[in-house]
Amino acid sequence: MISNKIFFSVIFPLFILISFCTYTNEVEKELFVVNEDFSHFFITRTPDEMDITHLEAFIDQYAGGKVTHLFLNPNTRRANFRSKTKEAVWDPIPGYSEEEVQQQLMIRLENKIHFENAKLLHDKGIDPYTVWIRRCREKNISPWLSMRMNDTHGMISNNPVDLMRTELGYSHPELLRVPNVMNKTASCFDYAHQAVRDHQIAFIQELLERYDPDGIELDWLRNLTNLRVGRFREDAHFIDGFVSDVRQLTKEWAAKRRHNIGVAVRVPSSPDDAEMLGLNADFWAKNGWVDIIIASPHYNSTDYDVRIDQWRKRLGDTVKVRLLAGCEFRTQAFPDAKEIGYTPVKDQKVVKFLTSSNNPPGWTDYELPLLYGFVDNVRLRKTGGIYLFNWFDGGHNTPSDRNYRKLLAEGVEPEIVATRERRYPVTYRDIASIIASLAPQEFSFSSQLPKETDVATTLQMPMGSVPKNGSVFLILGFDERAGIESAKFSTSLNGTALGQHEEEKDLWRIAHPYRAVRFLCPLEALLSGVNEMVLQPTVGATQRLIWAELRFVP
């Protein structure tokens, strides 16, 4: 038998090194990660399904397909289990009477279902994360726990009741970014306070003690602002130290568990935006504190220009870290624009539409061509994998499962992406727009869209690989304006004039513009990476361009 001394001095460090390489070696197979949020399972299942059989079945749907990792999120400001360091979601909420809370729960039924189903599992003595981690390993899926570092779910606009309020935030408003102001950014904890960092590190310690994950993700994008405005850069060292402490904890627990425990961080898609928020992920990687960096949007829209290449430039060739590209299910052309991705069937107008005879096929499914275009684009920039956020299985507030099942089974393998319809829309960095609204004196941002057509309009349009066959269309969507029905448009792509346009009829796929047109693009005019589109001024009334995409049709 090998002695403990030999194991911990020789064999275990070697094992850690080998395990680390599986996370960071870019020649290894891409990771395909799905994040499961803190409420989805509980609000899409009935009380009768709160048992081990249905918990295992939830994991089983990801088995045998292309998903390599599940990142399981057990918390917001509260926990989905009986924690020693945070209140549970079903615990009393400080500062409100029981009557006030119950009135809100009858209005906000998703919260009510979530809290009741989580408590039902607890009352049965079932811990969902223990079951899920075990089942993941049985099905050859790597289980990680994803900690939301500053989530402010539980608040809604113009409502004084915060259903996720904690005693720490209520009793010590000085620990919040903006004391005594209730909104989703002001009410975040300020990590410049030692008490905040102690509170959060205690929860991570509890997760590592209570569970046996392959890694811990620090999700710094829920809810994005972790330091005070005007202090992001100056106080970033507090978050640096926190991440270092997390790495030390995972090392200690790796030794106890006798397997590697990785550290992942979810940060903005642009390293400049990350730095602006005090999230120095490149610095963390250079110090060996993190294994995976997930470059992601916030919430409103996938960033089709995610800057994997800029992250790589900052990291250099010697830093061994896996860079993943994060993809939301939502796609939005600019702030406050209509979004696409899927249509929630709880909307009664949509329910009525779904029963009509002209229901477009797949209306409630995920729009997979958007994902395929995103993957093709980031793969060109040498991503180490794809990370799906808010991509869930079916339920009363989620899309049908047809395309989701296909996605889990087929994944986004190169041969799949190459042979499917791919969409490359112009979107924006939603995080940059939020930073600009919080700190306009320090940071400015403007999205490419919308554009007025009284002058020539130039757009930089991201695209992945140039196809060798098939067709590529430039699709432009316009708002309702006088003269839009008869307007004629003239465009060029990378200096090549495009021919006459035809009408694009599937307006439901492009965020419902009043009118859309499409141009056939010569394949030889396309470029891998970024394409420049120029729309000439319209003759007559000025129009408003609200959507632009390149679309490959095999």
Choose the weakest-confidence range: 325-329, 359-363, 490-494. Answer: 359-363
Tell me the β-bridge partners of 491.
535
Kindly write down the DSSP assignment for every residue of 242-285, as one continuous string.
Answer: HHHHHHHHHHHHHHHHTS--EEEEEEESSHHHHHHTT--HHHHH
Q: Residue 192 domain-assigned?
A: yes
What are the pLDDT digits (tens) for 86-112?
A: 999 999 999 999 999 999 999 999 999
Q: Residue 438 domain-assigned?
A: no
Instruction: Examine the pLDDT at 10 and tell me if it is beyond 60.
Output: no
- The residue range of the domain holding 275 is 4-424
Q: Residue 440 domain-assigned?
A: no
126 within 8 A of 49, measured Cβ to Cβ? no
Q: Residue 253 domain-assigned?
A: yes
What are the pLDDT digits (tens) for 64-86?
A: 999 999 999 999 999 999 999 99
372 within 8 A of 423, measured Cβ to Cβ? yes
Q: Residue 380 domain-assigned?
A: yes
Pairing of strands 491-493, 529-535: antiparallel
Which amino acid is present at 548? A
Judgement on whether residues 137 and 172 belong to the same structural domain of the protein: yes
Rounded average pLDDT over 9-37:
63
Predicted confidence band of residue 125 (pLDDT cuts 50, 70, 90): very high
| Whether the model pTM is above 0.85 | yes
Instruction: Examine the pLDDT at 400 and tell me if it is beyond 90.
Output: no
pLDDT for 538 equals 86
Percentage above 70 pLDDT, the chain:
90
Question: How many domains is the chain partitioned into structurally?
Answer: 2
Rounded average pLDDT over 387-405:
76
Last residue in a domain, options 424, 439, 460:
424
What are the pLDDT digits (tens) for 438-486?
A: 888 888 888 999 999 999 999 999 999 999 999 999 999 999 999 999 9
| Spacing of C-alpha 376 from chain mean position | 18
What are the pLDDT digits (tens) for 511-531?
A: 889 999 999 999 999 999 999
Judgement on whether residues 119 and 231 belong to the same structural domain of the protein: yes
| Spacing of C-alpha 341 from chain mean position | 13
Judgement on whether residues 456 and 418 belong to the same structural domain of the protein: no
